[in-house]
């Protein structure tokens, strides 16, 4: 039996996909990249924005022919859109065999077993506990050479625009020994970079044991043999304090880059978003991180056109990017998501205004990126190779620096995914640096 996956959305979703794939591997399935060869297709959906949900749903619609082409094929839909839509998903797509909402990922083995022919597979070898340190966390992996490791599920916040707490539930922390087991396995399998994942990853606080919070966990993961780079997504600004910053600074493998979502630079907007920090708080925390980790690169998420956002609020966002000296941002126009508090009120910033603000924001970010990358010309950067090939007879590769800049490099010798090379930066068009690999 073979399974094929299509995973939409964030890295949390990608890690959940690995989790489900691991359970299928324990039941004798092999992963395939050829959908037509698959007996099962697993679609992991995202609902964080209308566009992401629509993409996943239209993909599901297109799977009808795949399902009808061969008897016995099974179609499983999982993730956040599955959680939000539940039965209406089944009504709209009757060719779906199983819906596994994001909150129910832990029940995937039992739900999947219900679709398997009785007695065909013996899954007794699989540990009952989804997070047992005994599990084989490398049975099905994605994203090599970066090892994705979920450390918690859910979110205790209730940001007014966000559907995540509704579809993923409240925070549940994974036991530290299980996190360390997965990190160890993935590092031994060649993942020299580890990405710890959680909706508000630095709110991690398991119930008992010597590891009490995220700072402790970071220090412990940093020491796992084979880990050469360590990142985490996404920290919440509220939990950025001296203890956290010290753990980042004193863990040599933690990369000097942090994606710290701010969403807006205006305190009144942040209050209405229910982000639990003000503009001044965010700036103070960015400054704290820079004091502990000089030169740290900070990136962020920004929403433009949140209900009630004025021109002055938007100017505050633009000026915050400069004041906090941010290196980049994922920016989006606000769109209401059914089921969120903000969607109950008016979406009162006109579409043209949102587009205009987004364009101004993107231009400002582009200018900053150009200034920052220009300073890197002539420097040597350590790059972890994420893809490699040959172009016009020259060995080429793409990868990331420790500060998360993308690099396209050429090399005199062949490179493979997972290699770490030193690269002399020769050009710096915004966003993608270009250079040549040279001996370490």
The distance of Cα 295 from the centroid of its chain, to the nearest Å, equals 23
Closer of 164 and 342 to ligand SF4 (Cβ): 164
Closer of 131 and 157 to ligand SF4 (Cβ): 157
Q: Which of 57, 162, 187, 269 binds ligand SF4 (CB under 6 A)?
A: 162
Residue 410 Cβ vs ligand SF4, minimum distance, rounded to whole Å? 39
Binders of ligand SF4 among 170-199, rule CB under 6 A? Answer: 199
Residue 364 Cβ vs ligand SF4, minimum distance, rounded to whole Å? 23
Closer of 102 and 179 to ligand SF4 (Cβ): 102
E strand spans, 97-160: 98-101, 146-150, 152-153
Percent composition of the chain: helix, strand, coil (DSSP 3-state, to 5): 40, 25, 40
* Angstrom distances, CA of residue 202 to CA of 126, 217, 291, 334: 30, 10, 19, 25
Residue 198: both structure tokens together: 């959680």
Residue 382: both structure tokens together: 């350590």
Closer of 167 and 383 to ligand SF4 (Cβ): 167
Q: Which of 149, 164, 197, 260 binds ligand SF4 (CB under 6 A)?
A: 164
Q: Which of 231, 236, 337, 372 binds ligand SF4 (CB under 6 A)?
A: 236
Residue 312 Cβ vs ligand SF4, minimum distance, rounded to whole Å? 24
Would you put residue 154 in left (φ > 0), alpha (ψ -120 to 50) or beta? left
56 binds ligand SF4, rule: CB under 6 A: no
Q: Which helix (DSSP H) or strand (DSSP E) does residue 346 occupy?
A: none
Binders of ligand SF4 among 319-338, rule CB under 6 A? Answer: none
Closer of 38 and 46 to ligand SF4 (Cβ): 46
The DSSP secondary structure of 260-314, one letter per residue, reads ---B-S-HHHHHHHT-S--HHHHHHHHHHHHHHSTT-EEEEEEEES-TT--HHHH
103 binds ligand SF4, rule: CB under 6 A: no
165 binds ligand SF4, rule: CB under 6 A: yes
Question: How many chain residues are in contact with ligand SF4, going by CB under 6 A?
Answer: 10
Residue 347 Cβ vs ligand SF4, minimum distance, rounded to whole Å? 18
Residue 79 Cβ vs ligand SF4, minimum distance, rounded to whole Å? 14
38 binds ligand SF4, rule: CB under 6 A: no
SS3 241: coil
- Asked if residue 245 lies in contact with residue 287, where contact means CB atoms within 8 angstroms, the answer is no
CB-based burial of residue 191 (10 Å sphere; 0-12 exposed, 13-18 middle, 19+ buried)? buried
Q: Which of 15, 89, 155, 423 binds ligand SF4 (CB under 6 A)?
A: 155
Task: Name the nearest CA neighbour of 439 among 417, 428, 424, 426.
Answer: 424
> How many other CB atoms sit within 10 Å of the CB of residue 388?
18
300 binds ligand SF4, rule: CB under 6 A: no
**Would you give the binding string for ligand SF4 spanning residues 192-231, x where CB under 6 A is met?**
-------xx-------------------------------
Strand partners for 259: 299
Closer of 38 and 159 to ligand SF4 (Cβ): 159
Residue 213 Cβ vs ligand SF4, minimum distance, rounded to whole Å? 17
Q: Which residues bind ligand SF4 (CB under 6 A)?
A: 155, 157-159, 162, 164-165, 199-200, 236
């Amino acid at each position: 039996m073979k399974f094929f996956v299509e995973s939409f959305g964030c890295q949390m979703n990608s890690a959940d996909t690995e989790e489900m794939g691991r359970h299928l591997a324990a039941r004798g399935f092999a992963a395939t990249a050829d959908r037509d060869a698959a007996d099962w297709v697993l679609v992991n959906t995202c609902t964080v924005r209308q566009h992401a949900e629509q993409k996943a749903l239209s993909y599901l619609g297109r799977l009808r022919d795949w399902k009808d082409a061969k008897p016995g094929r099974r179609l499983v839909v999982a993730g956040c859109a599955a959680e939000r839509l539940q039965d209406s998903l089944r009504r709209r797509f009757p060719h779906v065999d199983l819906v596994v909402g994001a909150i129910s990922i832990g029940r995937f083995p039992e739900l999947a077993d219900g679709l398997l022919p009785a007695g065909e597979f013996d899954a007794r070898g699989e540990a009952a506990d989804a997070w047992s340190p005994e599990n084989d966390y490398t049975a099905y992996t994605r994203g090599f050479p970066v090892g994705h490791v979920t450390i918690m599920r859910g979110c205790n916040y209730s940001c007014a625009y966000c559907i995540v707490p509704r579809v993923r539930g409240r925070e549940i922390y994974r036991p530290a020994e299980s996190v360390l087991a997965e990190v160890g396995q993935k590092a031994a399998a060649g993942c020299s970079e580890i990405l710890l994942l959680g909706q508000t990853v630095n709110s991690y606080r398991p119930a008992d044991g010597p590891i009490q919070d995220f700072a402790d966990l970071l220090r412990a993961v940093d020491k796992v043999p084979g880990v050469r780079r360590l990142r985490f997504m996404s920290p919440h600004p509220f939990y950025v304090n001296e203890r956290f910053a010290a753990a980042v600074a004193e863990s040599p493998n933690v990369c000097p880059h942090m994606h710290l979502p701010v969403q807006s630079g205006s305190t009144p907007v942040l209050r209405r978003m229910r982000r639990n920090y003000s503009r001044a708080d965010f700036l103070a925390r960015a400054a704290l991180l820079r004091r502990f980790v000089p030169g740290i690169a900070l990136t962020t998420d920004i929403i433009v056109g949140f209900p009630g956002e004025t021109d002055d609020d938007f100017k505050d966002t633009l000026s915050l990017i400069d004041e906090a000296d941010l290196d980049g941002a994922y920016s989006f126009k606000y769109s209401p998501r059914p089921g969120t508090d903000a969607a109950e009120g008016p979406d009162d910033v006109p579409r043209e205004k949102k587009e205009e603000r987004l364009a101004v924001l993107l231009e400002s970010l582009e200018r900053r990126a150009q200034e920052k990358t220009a300073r890197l010309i002539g420097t040597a950067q350590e790059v972890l190779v994420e893809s490699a090939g040959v172009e016009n007879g020259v060995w080429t590769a793409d990868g990331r620096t420790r500060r998360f800049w993308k690099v396209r490099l050429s090399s005199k010798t062949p490179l493979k995914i997972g290699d770490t090379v030193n690269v002399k930066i020769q050009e710096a068009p915004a966003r993608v640096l270009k250079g040549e690999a040279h001996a370490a």
